[in-house]
Structure 1
Amino acid sequence: SGMTLAGKYGIGVLSIGSMAAEGITALGTQWGFAEDAALEFGSSVDRSDWRVLLNWHLAESKDLARSQAREGLQRWHNEYIVGTLQRPGTTAYSDPDEALEAVCGGAAKGVVQSAVVGTPDDLVAFIQNMYELTGGFGTAIGFVHDWANPRDTANSWDLVARYVIPEINGYTTKLRESQKFVSTERSAFNRAGEAILDKIMSNEKAADALKVTAKQGKNNAAENS
């Protein structure tokens, strides 16, 4: 298998079985094959070199995402997964909502879902859950499909770039810490403001300039009221 070869030669691997619920469930076990092969052949493998292929379509709300992708997802499943790949155990869906429920509705039932049709927050939660389920991997790769029209598909990828990638990679952690500090540690900012004001008032010219600035501010406020 691909995992065994990756372990034998100490190379990275791409898991495409993660596009199906059964494949997602087996991912944790699959990585064990790579580790066993690495041990047998005296090489090494690193989870950071493991790529996992996932399906998603995002929009500003879950309802909007579902309305954009429902018909395309059904067609993709019936014509590509069932008709072209002829994946064992798959059957065609007669209704778009049936396809959505089967592919994306697993989480509500405590079952592993195989794709996300929803918001950036939904995808973040899905990837984090996948990370825990597998024991860790290096990169989540999105499968490019045509569930939605080109405009909505482009917007989906834009949402991934603007919201999902920063969150998953921890780029927003310091931003949140800063926001929390500013909102909860007001005493530190008040002391700084008082120190600045004392410094200004100790200089006659600076104090006069402050009075002019304050007067202008009051006049502007009165004009805008």
Structure 2
Amino acid sequence: MRFGMFIAPFHPLEGNPTLQLRRDLELAVRADDLGFDEVWFGEHHSAGFETIGSPELMIAAAGERTKRIMLGTGVNSVSYHNPLILADRIVQLDHMTAGRVMMGIGPGQLPSDAFMLGIDPTRQRDMMAQAIEALVPLVRGETVTMKTDWFDLHEARVQLTPFSQRGIELAIASVFSPTGVTLAGRHGLSVLSVAASDLRARGQLADNWAVHERAAAEHGQTPRRDRWRVVGMMHLAETREQARREVEWGILRSTAYFEGLTGRKMPWRSSPEDAIDQWTTEGLPSWGVGVIGTPDDAIAAIERLQEQTGGFGTYLLNVHDCASWAATQRSYELFAEYVIPHITQANRNREGSRDWAHQNSERFIGRMTQAITEATQKYTAPRALQDIGRATDGRTSTVSGPDFPQESP
């Protein structure tokens, strides 16, 4: 398995927006240092909390600050962009990051974004399907001529081919409907299940993957579970009590976002404790059920999800601002220190070496004891003879041997 972070982001209105964006970049750097595999940046244009309008700008900045971590658009709302211009930006970023770019594709999440652009939200999934028909060959360096009611391409091509021969990985967002997984199967693309922690979506994950497999088979594609990503929310500390206390710091500021989106008062909004209870049991709108606890709780949740889905390739932590910056960083450190190596069995050889040494300890200790005894005898026996020779009354010593030459009178 691989692990990463999904930065929508969710920044409360009380914070400094400049510092919030800088911390998003710092988090990408920290993820790189901690051994995470991926970071994804979202695209949103309204509602105040999700403040990244251009994931490409974040990738360009993060690419200069990191060394090895993969960087993805999570996701591009493709119904808002001309496919040629979007493909051009992605391929350019692929070169700027030396092949570390991934492209996430979605119809657009916030209806307020679509409203500002004069787009009917009911059309967005059809628009995404049309955009994909153009984006896939364009990103591969092919020429596209295609006309729809919202874009018109004439012998369109990007000027650069991808940085490496393996190309650029494209992943389609999937929430509740089978639209995303069907399109991913048809075009041989990856699946990004962004609502895996939502109880409604969680029950459909296995079914949606089956739809993906059927669509892939119908179009001669090979479905790959190792390229299936699921997104969930967690905050970890040394104890469950500490994790809850840390999340109390900002849970009400963050969950105010849902009241703004839905226009109604949330009954659990009265206290941080009630909000955390709601989050960890029935779940919060958009966020689903969160894990607020210890690394052991995180391990158990990921293993349950693996069992429910039949297996996936990457687990992405959905980044939130419910805890202080220091506590947030510590949470990811605990995840990297204890959760990742447990899931990936990174210490299996060390554990095997320990068990082998324990099982053979009697034999090893016996041989070591014998070696010490033999070395002691080898050292003390000649020394004793030498001491005897020195103790004579001045007469010629009779001590001789390879290590003790004959003394003259």
Q: Which among 23, 43, 47 is matched to residue 225 of structure 2?
A: 47
Match of 2:367 in 1: 192
Match of 1:115 in 2: 290
Q: Using a 3 Å threshold, how does the CA distance of structure 1 residues 4 and 201 change in structure 2: closer, same or farther?
A: same
- More helix as a share of residues: 1
Match of 2:125 in 1: none
Q: Deviations over 1:134-188 (max 9, x none)?
A: 1000000111110100000000011111111111111122333333344454313
Match of 2:193 in 1: 15
**Structure 1 residue ranges without an equivalent (≥5):** 107-112, 209-225
1:26 aligns with 2:26: no
**Would you say the 8 A contact 1:38–1:45 is kept in 2?**
yes
Question: Equivalents in 1 of 2:365, 2:354: separation in Å?
Answer: 16
What is the count of residue pairs matched by the alignment? 199
* Structure index of larger Rg: 2
1:171 aligns with 2:346: yes
**Would you say the 8 A contact 1:65–1:118 is kept in 2?**
yes
Q: Using a 3 Å threshold, how does the CA distance of structure 1 residues 77 and 204 change in structure 2: closer, same or farther?
A: same
TM-score relative to the length of structure 2? 0.45
Q: Using a 3 Å threshold, how does the CA distance of structure 1 residues 137 and 187 change in structure 2: closer, same or farther?
A: same
- The structure showing larger relative contact order (alpha-carbon pairs under 8 Å, at least 6 residues apart) is 1
Match of 1:4 in 2: 182
**Would you say the 8 A contact 1:200–1:206 is kept in 2?**
no
Question: Counterparts in 2 of 1:114-153, with a 5 A limit?
Answer: 114-153=289-328
Question: Equivalents in 2 of 1:103, 1:207: separation in Å?
Answer: 78
Question: Equivalents in 2 of 1:57, 1:156: separation in Å?
Answer: 6
Q: Deviations over 1:82-118 (max 9, x none)?
A: 433x49xx94522222222222146xxxxxx822110
Compare 30-39 and 70-79 and name the one that shifted more.
70-79
Match of 1:96 in 2: 272
- The Cα of 1:50 is off from its aligned counterpart by 0.3
Quote the sequence identity (%).
Answer: 31
Q: Using a 3 Å threshold, how does the CA distance of structure 1 residues 45 and 7 change in structure 2: closer, same or farther?
A: same
- The Cα of 1:197 is off from its aligned counterpart by 1.3
Q: Using a 3 Å threshold, how does the CA distance of structure 1 residues 207 and 145 change in structure 2: closer, same or farther?
A: farther
Instruction: Give the CA RMSD over aligned residues.
Output: 2.6
1:83 aligns with 2:260: yes
Q: Which amino acid aligns with 1:158?
A: E
TM-score relative to the length of structure 1? 0.78
Question: Equivalents in 2 of 1:4, 1:91: separation in Å?
Answer: 34
